[in-house]
Chains A and B, each alone.
Chain A
Amino acid sequence: MSEGLSITSVGPPNPFGMPLGALSWLSTLGLWAWVLPVIAAGIVALYFLKLRREPVQVSSTYLWGKTIEDLHVNSLLQRLRRSLLLLLQLLILACAAIAVFRPGVRGETNGQDRLIFLLDRSASMQAVDLEGGVSRFDKAKELIRGRIGSMSDQQTAMLIAFDDRAETVQAFTSDRSRLLLSLDAVTVSNAPTDMLEALRAADGLANPRRSSQVGDLNDVQVADASPAELLIFSDGAFQPPADFNLGNLIPNYVAIGSEKVLNLAITEFSTQTDFDKPGVVQVYGTVANLGNVPGKTEVALEMDGELLDAELVSLEPGEEKGLAFEISANDSAFLTLTLSVTDDLAVDNRAYAGLTPSKRASILVITEGNTALEVALETEQIQRICDVSFVSPSFLTSDSYRERVNTSEDDLLIFDRCQPLKMPKTNTFFIGAIPPASVVSVDPESDDSEENLTTDDASDDSRFAWGWDAESTPLSIIDINRTHPLLRYLDLFSVLVFSGRPLVVPEGGTELLAADTGTVLAVAPREGYQDLVLGFPIVSQSDGGVPEANTNWFAERSWPVFLFNVLRTLGNASETTAAGSYAPGAIVRGRLNQLSEERPSDSLRIETSSGRKVAFVLRDALQFETVDTHEIGAYEVRTQEKLLQRFAVNLFNQRESSIAASREITLGYEEVESGNAGLVVRREYWRFVLLVMLALMMAEWWLYNQRMG
């Protein structure tokens, strides 16, 4: 009811123990509803006023007169009761009135006035394992549509669609049509699921909190927290969010999808150039059966649309198989791995990998002298992919350094026991030192902006600044984050460190190496770049100025491997072998060395393999950035005539591809079982009433013609 009087709700929240599912009414009219009885009275009045009796001569009114005497006893009531036409007309009106009030039997509700719909739109919701080939996403929308339809006028609802990000599609409203319109606008994506994001969005809107610190007397809670029903429409294919308190949210999980599914997925697809055999590319792929039915498929490898190789794969549920191909390839090509099987989820049946034009990474090392570093960076393998330059710390104050930094010439700067005044616009690796307190980068356009960078600014942003946690002490390594690409293949437990300081890692940073005193190796993002900081130097200088080893790491086999990882990961050296692969929706940043020479930035464009133009931002002449990576496929960065770079977007998410619907999910500290409580779709009867009305109208018309005819 948008205005005026409320004629609704025969079914309040069960105050007298009325059984659930009682008939309720949803009116869509305001004052007009009161007009209906008047119309009814009008019809009766008009009926008698308009009544024109057709004169008919009969042999005698003798017997009819007796009939009239009988009818006169209760003539008015008799007329109303027995005049079929009038009765039908009144019935038609009554039907119209009833239909307008939308009678229906509502399913169970828990009586919450606030509803939050969480609609999973991640890749797994594209699965078509439901009856009739309906996708999970469409089914979820249909269920939400039904639930919105059954909302009472007192209820308000919010709609949040989520994949790896949560989007509040519609804020709290009681306007059902707006909710439905917003719901229709939501589309499914190829991105993985991040339930925590969605829960935080719901939590922030459902549980208003103080805006800042507790204890601040001037800070008052702007709204009272009131319970809200959290309706999660998902298949449960997501990482259970930990450390989340639902608070006032009453979760209600609706599992969408069947538990018996067939899904063969490509979980990995990468290429690697064999340095010993130029022109030969190793292609690796992994196919996994992530459903619970055995599957068989043909795996086809194609390069730029041409079939190169194929293999038949049979997999039991949970089984996976690695595939390796060796192909001859040009510098630049796109490879596609395709599964021929028709399973429940198609999005993971195709993977892309690109070979980009080779380019060498440029590494600048600022050190007073570090033999261990120099030796490791001069290995044959590193020399093949990088150009490494060594300079002394005094170079940091020179103009040529400033120019070099401003043109983003280097892919990686390694600061050995020294630090620049301002952070350069590139990735950095600090050894035995930390980035300067201010994280603000040098503005390439205004070199004299140092005065803006006061210490106050730095202290304000203390959460984003690196720092030392304690004084130098001997330390021993106790934990390694092996999952990170920087520490892949490393074993560091035999490393001894004589003197090192634990680090204070800025917010958003990742701890890579933990020692007994704290974090000694961490990586943190900075404006699209990454800073890697090692808390201890490799070599130090004795009081006499003689270099001496601070650790035995340089003597370990892991040292050059670590440096190789650093160059590959932070120095973008990996691009020299294969194009990067990103998750759908991920931010893709790239450097365009070739472009800097030509600067045809106007003609720069990014296109997908399907021909779609991708929106991107050119941060400067050398860097592009795009978030428009929702489409799975191959992306090409090119000018009018020249291909500059390639990257691929693939799902490669085992959890997303494991599409068997979970009947139970864990939200923080609560386990929620799938149910449809509160989701029983309101059964609307107004359509039936309208049908009855139509039938009555036809009957009335027929009768009328019968009589008049």
Chain B
Amino acid sequence: MTTKEPTDELLPPSLLAKLERLEFASRKMFRGQLKGERRSRRRGQSVEFDDFRNYVPGDDLRLIDWNLYARLDQLFLKLFQEEEERHFYALVDASGSMGFGTPSKFLVARQLAAALGYIGLCRSDRVSVQILGHAGRKAPVLRSRSSLWQMLQYLETVTLGQNDSLGESIRDFASRQTGSGIVVLISDFLDKEGFESALRMLVNHRMDVFVMHLLSPEEINPTLRGDHRLIDSEDEDFADLTINQYAVDQYLANLKGFIESIKTFCNRRSMVYVPISTEMRIEEMATTYLRQRGVVR
């Protein structure tokens, strides 16, 4: 894993070309309202042949296969596959804890959201990259590659501290989105109310959910030692602790258990859990790591 040099640029131009070749590896077929680039279970007017069926009165005469009528003297209708759009949501946790790490988890989360959103735009999906909380409501819904700048503009303007509770924010999102689609939730899940209720909300809405769990190197392997008062960045809560190897071992055990619990929760609900260290460069993350984890292909 190469060391990432801190950059505030959400999407490096060099990455854009690579992203254009990628697409989401969604395990579900979704119904869209507009034509898109995704094959639908519905038959429609694409060029992709799908099947034949007998003519019944009232069918569109343009779809009759006259060559077959000439051979068999029976009327058959030629059916084609329908291609339609897909909904893609990238939800970025903007709680205070996301501001930590070098580079900050929030920056990496936005870069990731932008990269995935661009993949969706390239595939003519209905893309909505938004941060959790009230600010997410103002997020634009985008459909074409040309609206990339809108997405980036939105991501660049958003700030931290927009959502206090992960569960509440997701509930708010879910209440606004009734349809199905791909949801990528990018968060560190360091919420004292827990992550379960939030994720459960997405399952109930028949979303194909990808859970991107961001952790900074400082959280994965803390180097802090000594007598400290640890102050929570979100609620100013503090914990007096003498951090020695024993305490660090305890922390690591807790972290491991925490990751395992999210992973298990996701696996049981057909969500894809992807742990991500912010140490990873966005290029490597988008083009290699997410491919390996089955998010894109």
Contacts and interface: CB of A to CB of B under 8 A. Distances in A.
A639 B239 CA distance: 98
B228 A54 contact: yes
A59 B231 CA distance: 8
B190 A53 contact: no
B254 A66 contact: yes
Interface string A598-633: 000000000000000000000000000000000000
Interface in A50-76: 51-68, 70-71
A53 B250 CA distance: 20
Contacts of A79: 242
Contact of A60 (B97, B241, B244, B245): B97
Given A58-B100, A67-B247, A53 B219 contact: no
A642 interface: no
B233 interface: yes
Contacts of B228: 53-56
B100 A707 contact: no
Interface in B233-254: 233-234, 237-242, 244-247, 250-251, 254
A663 B136 CA distance: 103
A60 B190 contact: yes
Interface string A293-328: 000000000000000000000000000000000000
B226 interface: yes
Nearest to B219: A59
Contacts of A66: 250-251, 254
B231 A58 contact: yes
A708 interface: yes
Contacts of A56: 224, 228-231
Given A52-B227, A67-B241, A70-B250, A59 B191 contact: no
A57 B234 contact: no
Contacts of B196: none
Contacts of A78: 246
Interface in A655-709: 706-708
B9 interface: no
A225 interface: no
B18 to A, nearest CB: 31
A51 B230 contact: no
B258 interface: yes
A59 B233 contact: yes
Contacts of A64: 230, 239, 241, 251
A62 B192 contact: yes
A350 B224 CA distance: 79
A259 B105 CA distance: 85
Contacts of A20: none
B15 interface: no
Contacts of B219: 59, 63
B156 interface: no
Contact of B216 (A59, A63, A68): A59
B255 to A, nearest CB: 6
Contact of B239 (A68, A83, A707): A68
Contacts, number: 101
B148 to A, nearest CB: 30
Contacts of B229: 53-56
A706 B192 CA distance: 32
B82 interface: no
Given A64-B251, A70-B250, A58 B230 contact: yes
A82 interface: yes
A161 to B, nearest CB: 61
B217 to A, nearest CB: 12
Interface residues of B, number: 39
A84 interface: yes
B188 interface: yes
Contacts of A708: 226
Interface in A328-384: none
Q: Which of B188, B231, B254 has the most CB of A within 10 A?
A: B254
Contacts of A57: 230-233
A59 B218 CA distance: 10
Contacts of A58: 100, 224, 230-233
A67 B249 CA distance: 9
A55 B239 CA distance: 10
Interface in B22-51: none
A250 to B, nearest CB: 59
B225 interface: yes
Nearest to A706: B225
Given A58-B100, A61-B238, A53 B227 contact: yes
Contact of B190 (A54, A55, A63): A63
B226 A67 contact: no
A301 B59 CA distance: 151
Interface in B88-114: 96-101, 105
A62 B230 contact: no
B190 A62 contact: yes
A79 B241 CA distance: 10
A79 B227 CA distance: 11
A63 B258 contact: yes
Interface in A248-293: none
Contacts of A65: 237, 239
Which one of A63, A71, A706, A707 has the greatest number of beta carbons of chain B within 10 Å? Answer: A63
Nearest to A707: B226
Contacts of B188: 59-60
Contacts of B97: 59-60
Contacts of A68: 239-241
B231 A67 contact: no
Contact of A63 (B234, B238, B254): B254
A261 to B, nearest CB: 63
A539 B113 CA distance: 148
Interface string A69-100: 01100000011001110000000000000000
Contacts of B241: 53, 64, 67-68, 71
Interface string B138-159: 0000000000000000000000
A52 B239 CA distance: 13
Given A53-B227, A55-B231, A59-B100, A71 B192 contact: no
A58 to B, nearest CB: 5
B4 to A, nearest CB: 18
B225 to A, nearest CB: 5
A82 B244 contact: yes
A174 B258 CA distance: 70
B104 to A, nearest CB: 10
A63 B249 CA distance: 12
B225 A82 contact: no
Nearest to B232: A61
A83 B242 contact: yes
Nearest to A60: B190
Contacts of A61: 230-232, 237-239
A706 B244 CA distance: 12
Contacts of B101: 59
Interface string A433-461: 00000000000000000000000000000
Count chain A CB atoms within 10 A of each CB in B99, B250, B258 and give the residue with the most: B250
Nearest to A86: B242
A75 to B, nearest CB: 10
Contacts of A51: 227
A53 B229 CA distance: 5
Interface of A: 51-68, 70-71, 78-79, 82-84, 706-708
Closest 8 CB pairs of A and B: A707-B226, A60-B190, A59-B97, A59-B100, A67-B250, A53-B229, A61-B232, A66-B254
30 contacts: A52-B227, A53-B227, A53-B240, A55-B238, A56-B224, A56-B228, A58-B231, A58-B232, A59-B97, A59-B105, A59-B190, A59-B219, A59-B233, A60-B97, A61-B238, A63-B219, A63-B258, A64-B239, A64-B251, A67-B241, A67-B251, A71-B241, A78-B246, A82-B244, A82-B245, A82-B246, A83-B242, A84-B244, A706-B225, A708-B226
Interface of B: 96-101, 105, 188, 190-192, 216, 219, 224-234, 237-242, 244-247, 250-251, 254-255, 258
